[in-house]
Structure 1
Amino acid sequence: MYEQAYIDYLIYFHCDRDYFECHEILEEHWKKDPPTKRKNYWVGLIQIAVGLYHHRRGNFAGAAKMISNAIKLLKNEQHDLQRLGLHKEELIKQLLIRKNEILDGKCYYSFNLPIIDQELVTICKTQCHDQKNWGNASDFTNEYLIHKHTKRDRTDIIEERKNQLELRKSRKTETP
């Protein structure tokens, strides 16, 4: 019923509060569709995670921008939000509250998506590594989690970019 990438997103979102990984997983899933068939609701969910990542790190401008963009996108995707087991009106309401708190310079606190499908919650809790972590607050002592984009191993990404650059260069030399 629900795609595994979405379940993984929810687990990282609510168990680990690993918003960076939420972004990575859902972006990879979103890119599997051809550009003209990509779903905006995935982008909206990605933007929520990125906004919360920025907010937790104290980047209020980045957080406000991402949450604002998510609200704009998701207001037009409310049928799909319901299909994803989310309470569409409550989600938009919570995002508007969070956006205003960010604009007021209030500190980050953990955010729970309003999941109305209890079967989905059960699936996520079952797959969560430690069910006791579901819905717990962010661990502010985990520097790696909070600053993941600067601390992670980027070897694979750098190698892939290098390969793509080589591929583009070889195509240019082949074209008469």
Structure 2
Amino acid sequence: MGQYPDAYVQYLVHFHGDRDYFECHEVMEEFWKAHPEDPRSATYVGLIQIAVGLYHSRRGNRAGAVKMLVSALAKLQPMDVRTLGLDAEELERRIRNRLADVQAENDGYTDINLPIMDPGLLHRCQTICRDKGLVWEAPSSLENDALIHKHTLRDRADVIEERARQSRLRKEQGEAR
């Protein structure tokens, strides 16, 4: 179907390969922020929100999962979803089903897969997964705390340092006035 941003391909590999939804969020958010003029911008945000919604769902944060999945449904533009090699109608159905499960507080967590329609994109992602030693569409490892609780376990030194730098800049600009 076409060319896809590398970040999007990485997103799909994380989504279906290692089920690292936090990394899906990181990869797509970085791309989205670097390309604010991209016409698929809202859809990129929707993809980010799907990953974040699943991350919350897997951790048992139902409120966070519902909020993100509802927001994702509002952001995903069917035409843009199709240009990303996905089946827009099937994607919406899968998100709605997951949302219903979360809202019904059904026990247990199961992953969803994004409905990739472009055989070339699918082959590319599967090949990358195989080369990384990942099994395409394997279920999440629910015993892997580093995967499940990644946001609480990661090194945030760079984020803290950047916030302090921004604070100093604001203070210096305020003093210069």
Give TM-score, length-normalised by structure 1: 0.93
Question: How many pairs does the alignment contain?
Answer: 173
Q: Whole-Å Cα distance in 1 between the matches of residues 40 and 162 of structure 2?
A: 23
Is residue 2:57 matched to residue 1:82?
no
Report what 1:169 is aligned to: 171
Is residue 2:126 matched to residue 1:120?
no
Say if 1:69 and 1:125 are closer, same or farther in 2 by CA, change over 3 A.
same
Report what 2:15 is aligned to: 13
Task: Give CA-to-partner distance per residue, 1:57-114, whole Å, 9 cap, x none.
Answer: 001111011111111111xx10000000000000001111110000011221011000
Counterpart residue identity of residue 112, structure 1: N
CA positional deviation for 1:169: 1.3
Maintained 8 Å contact 1:9/1:25: yes
Give TM-score, length-normalised by structure 2: 0.92
DSSP 3-state at the match of 1:121: helix
CA positional deviation for 1:137: 0.2
Identity over aligned pairs, percent = 49
Maintained 8 Å contact 1:20/1:53: yes
User: Structure 1 unaligned runs (5+)?
Assistant: none
Q: Whole-Å Cα distance in 2 between the matches of residues 132 and 18 of structure 1?
A: 12
Counterpart residue identity of residue 13, structure 2: I
Q: Whole-Å Cα distance in 2 between the matches of residues 38 and 70 of structure 1?
A: 13
DSSP 3-state at the match of 1:139: coil
Maintained 8 Å contact 1:63/1:102: yes
Report what 2:35 is aligned to: 33
Say if 1:115 and 1:36 are closer, same or farther in 2 by CA, change over 3 A.
closer
Is residue 2:102 matched to residue 1:102?
yes
Counterpart residue identity of residue 82, structure 1: R
Counterpart residue identity of residue 167, structure 2: L
